[in-house]
Structure 1
Amino acid sequence: MMILRSIIKNILLVITALGLNTSFVNGQIKAVAININLSKTYQTISNFGASDAWACQFVGNWPNDKRNKIADLFFSRDTYTDGSPKGIGLSLWRFNIGAGSAQQADQSGIKDEWRRAESFLNNDGSYNWQNQAGQVWFLKAAKKRGVNQFLGFNNSPPVQFTINGKAYASGGKVNISADKYDAFASYLARVVKGVEQVSKVKFDYISPVNEPQWDWSDGGQEGCPYNNAEVAGLVKSINKEFVNNKISSKILIGEAGSLNYLFTAGDKPGKGLQINDFFRDGSANYIGNLPGVTKTIAAHSYFTTSPMATAIKARKVLADSVAAVKGLDFWQSEYCILGDNAGEIDGNKRDLGIDAALYLASVIHTDLTAANASAWQWWTAISAYDYKDGLIYIDKNKTDGNFYTSKMLWAMGNYSRFIGPGAIRVDAEVTSAVTVKPLLVSAFKNGKNFTAVIINPNADDVAANLNISNANIKFSSAYTTSQADELKANKATGVRNVVPARSIITLTGIIK
């Protein structure tokens, strides 16, 4: 008996030294039941993506080895010998179609040159397709690694068409007059064709308006405000130009600065209620019937993510509002961690660790499960700032420098790497509340492939017991992101899997 006790004691010491949870060995780990119903389905996933603004204009010209390593982290679907992914496998890439503030340099009024952007349009009306070369490099790198959805977006019309000749507004008023809408539309048609010519990448979507509710008057970056009538007028011009020139790129609208502007009037007269204004037949600003407009409304999750109960309530109202319009989808098309988030996390200061990653994962989860988002897109893929706005961080160096991965990158990869376009969200419900903080669970099927993402924000390991209705699933792998791991591959242990403390895991399997 003494020998047996000694052996057990030594085993526990080894387990503790390895950082494993001894309560599991003693049979004391808390177990949570999760019911998965494959027959109860929700939205179909379109993509997971991120934006090239602003740093890719420089990083795309960095030494070849470094920029390729960064591209692998964003786009690669390859794995290491142990099965762990080399990258997060984004399925959409957002390309910032610049307004020309970079060519204006200091005369642009935008002090930070990292927030200026080049334009393909010259002052004499000609086009230079060698501009935005760093960003075009990333387009090619994404396509080479298997990305097949691309979106071009404008923060501002080209400075040649703006009222004040700048890429930001004056006095919070729209910075393009109606008589320039057609010129802007013609420019976008030329950009679609020109970019395809130099990169072999064709934009599936063009998003001509970004966060129209904000004033964009401080010169902090390119930006342009619009009210809904102005958005509709511009979109009608773009639609006409695209149809006449057989441009197949679809126009994505909304890009509201906050989710609430989609379904409430908000605090910006004429800039809210965008679902009804743009997609309700009979509205003065109805554009949902235009052949060039995708049946999708897009908005950004800023300022709506905390506290969780409030976030869920708003997203359920949004989901109901979208569902009331036949055939309409919702995309969460831009997010990073801003503000103080009801004291839960502050957007200031970089956080390469698991705290920011867990918060980000909870936002993705809530947008997918409460708002029924069919796409989820991050703001700036690469950041040079001391802020929680990047998946990868770099030294603020235009020609070379170091880069640093964040746990936010890998947390997003728990979704983007495994939930591909065409995946259908299925019902997943946690039925027992034995943890201090609830587990967050979402599940998806794509043909015979099954994926579940489980977030454990607790300080202890939790055993997740999956009860599968209407099918059998042969589980294959579990991929863990934690303070220690970055999509680390392990073998799934069937319907019972330990979710490590403060981690996100993705379970994959085949539906039998």
Structure 2
Amino acid sequence: MEVCLKQSILFLSVLSLQLFCVCCYIPCATREVEYGYVCVCNSTYCDTVPQIEPLSTGQYQIYTTSKNNLGFSSSVGAFSSSSNSTASVQISVANLSDTHQTIIGFGGAFSDSTGINVLSLPEEAQQLLLESYFGEEGLGYTLGRVPIGGTDFSTKAYTYCDGEDLTLEEFTLADEDYSYKLPLIKKAIDLKGDKQLLLLASAWSSPAWTKSTNSIKGSGNLKEEYYDWWAKYFIKFFEAYESNGVIFWAVTTQNEPVQGFLATDVPNLRFSFNNLKTWIKDYFGPTIRNSTFKDLKIVTYDDGRDFLPLLQMVVLSDEEVLEYIDGVGVHWYTDFFIPASFLNYAKSDKKDLFVIGTEASNGFLKFFDLIPPVMLGSWSRGVNYINNIFDDLEYGMAGWIDWNMALDPSGGPTFIDNFVDSPIIVNSTLGEFYKQPMFYALGHFSKFVLPDSVRVTTEVSSGKIRTLAFNRPDNKTVLIISNDSDDDVEVDIVIESISSTINIQSKSINSLLIKL
């Protein structure tokens, strides 16, 4: 009788949560487009994430996004202490104490193009877009990357000291900072409330007159006589943003110092690894640590996986460099031919460094314009994000930052025509924006893998399913489960001594929150 009563109470509590969750969120307004489906938002309507409900011990709440059903659908259920499952696939978390890296967070970049596109919308739609990324009913982004000056996703090349000025007295933020970056950053911070938004700063290029090429556009070496000046330039930037109420968590030593050796029009500075080592230990590191911004996390590299072995050999082996750096930033642009195992080279045997993904975007591989930069509604591009984040987290990465948060239908603006894709595409003519599968793919990680979550070892019996598990700081455990096969899969999920059989839809990503 007592067992039956407990089962009845558990059933009723699960049922009440199911009914509540149906009522407390706004579903996706689905539209079929050229490459699949998007969720459409405008000034009066935008889908949200169903509320995470208080769960009793043994209950779970699962969130699902699938190829043919975008947005977040949610249902609840319960684990039991016995299992008679005949499921063909098993996910096992044998020991919740078998842990790995601690998560810093997930987010996107406040590029000029992001600001231009967000602000091209009606004010109400602007707010809904920002809430979609940073709000309580959105993805809950906790990281934001901020360019120091212009990038390829600006409407022109610029720095904060374009005229020759050795004293930095003429240093001034640009119109783009006041029009695009600062307003959005401040609104994002307000949306976070008492939850932190960690900001990471990265510079693309120094002023033309400090470079060997005498041009902001394209690569060039920083002339050695300006190393000290360039370090002080960063301090001026942090002072200027602080005077506008914005405080940073971290700074990278240079955006793409190695890719800068390629012949492109992207504003950039190139550093050999020996020069990068000198820059960090003799100029950048001491300048930051002897300033009022001494607590900034210093993140080096900020480039692709391909040259991580050389980074480890030359830079991460230098004890003077290690006195200053806290982490290693990695871009995803060479991931299609460089395996995730290369992330092992982002480590040092002399110091514990965090590794964080600092830039990613689909659409950069155009193959002579045969592949469009924007593939509106593409599920496969969402899968690219899912698989890349899985790979990175499995090899110890602590966070992942997307590139542009919003672009126009062409994948811009970009003053060098370097068009790419984005999780949100803005149609300013119609006053609406489109959440692509990429948005929801990244959202499962940013929403449910909270900062200070700790990854837990998992085992899966079939290659059809990928999964990662995390102990969250709110005493819940979350499993991120991906099924990219064409068939639904019945999965027996065993967490230490309890289990439950759950149907994982085809072409889907799922977040399973469990109260243990």
* Other-structure match for 2:251: 206
* Other-structure match for 1:394: 426
How do residues 353-372 of structure 1 correspond to structure 2 at under 5 angstroms?
353-369=378-394, 371-372=395-396
Q: Mind listing any 5+ residue stretches in structure 2 that lack a counterpart?
A: 1-67, 70-84, 412-418
Deviations 1:238-294 (CA, angstroms, capped at 9, x unpaired): 2222233221322211112x212112xxxxxxxxx1123222146xxx51112xx22
Cα distance, 1:323–1:189 mapped onto 2, change above 3 Å = closer
Q: State whether structure 2 residue 239 is matched by structure 1 residue 234.
A: no
User: CA contact under 8 A between 1:302 and 1:337: conserved in structure 2?
Assistant: no
Distance 2:118 2:424 in 1: 14
* Other-structure match for 1:506: 511
For 1:357, the aligned partner's letter is G
Distance 2:318 2:266 in 1: 35
Q: State whether structure 2 residue 457 is matched by structure 1 residue 440.
A: no
Q: CA deviation at 1:113?
A: 7.7
Q: State whether structure 2 residue 253 is matched by structure 1 residue 253.
A: no
Cα distance, 1:213–1:276 mapped onto 2, change above 3 Å = same
* Other-structure match for 2:335: 304
User: CA contact under 8 A between 2:204 and 2:269: conserved in structure 1?
Assistant: yes
**SS state at 2:257 partner:** coil
Q: CA deviation at 1:173?
A: 4.1
* Other-structure match for 1:23: none
**SS state at 2:434 partner:** strand
* Other-structure match for 1:419: 449
For 1:449, the aligned partner's letter is K
**SS state at 1:38 partner:** coil
For 2:224, the aligned partner's letter is A
Q: CA deviation at 1:202?
A: 0.7
User: CA contact under 8 A between 1:383 and 1:390: conserved in structure 2?
Assistant: yes
How do residues 257-336 of structure 1 correspond to structure 2 at under 5 angstroms?
258-263=304-309, 273-281=310-318, 286-290=320-324, 293-294=325-326, 296-305=327-336, 314-319=339-344, 322=347, 324-336=349-361
Deviations 1:360-417 (CA, angstroms, capped at 9, x unpaired): 1011111111x211111112222233565311112488xx954221110111000011
Cα distance, 1:452–1:321 mapped onto 2, change above 3 Å = same
* Other-structure match for 1:430: 460
**SS state at 1:467 partner:** strand
Distance 1:173 1:130 in 2: 22
Distance 2:341 2:387 in 1: 16
Cα distance, 1:173–1:195 mapped onto 2, change above 3 Å = closer
For 2:143, the aligned partner's letter is L
Cα distance, 1:64–1:121 mapped onto 2, change above 3 Å = farther
Deviations 1:203-259 (CA, angstroms, capped at 9, x unpaired): 111114111122467563322221112222332312222233221322211112x21
* Other-structure match for 1:379: 403
User: CA contact under 8 A between 1:232 and 1:278: conserved in structure 2?
Assistant: yes
Q: State whether structure 2 residue 91 is matched by structure 1 residue 42.
A: no
Deviations 1:48-97 (CA, angstroms, capped at 9, x unpaired): 1211224124235434323222211211122xxxxxxxx21111000111
For 1:391, the aligned partner's letter is P
For 2:469, the aligned partner's letter is A
* Other-structure match for 1:491: none
Higher relative contact order (CA 8 A, sep 6+): 2
Distance 1:424 1:91 in 2: 16
Identify the match of residue 183 of structure 1 among 209, 221, 229. Answer: 229
Between stretches 155-164 and 328-337, larger displacement belongs to 155-164
Deviations 1:71-128 (CA, angstroms, capped at 9, x unpaired): 11211122xxxxxxxx2111100011115x8xxxxxxxxxx88453554446364243
- Number of equivalent positions: 411
Cα distance, 1:113–1:419 mapped onto 2, change above 3 Å = closer
Q: State whether structure 2 residue 170 is matched by structure 1 residue 126.
A: yes
Identify the match of residue 449 of structure 1 among 476, 481, 485. Answer: 476
For 2:290, the aligned partner's letter is N
User: CA contact under 8 A between 1:155 and 1:208: conserved in structure 2?
Assistant: no
Distance 1:161 1:93 in 2: 28
Aligned CA-pair RMSD: 3.1
For 1:452, the aligned partner's letter is L
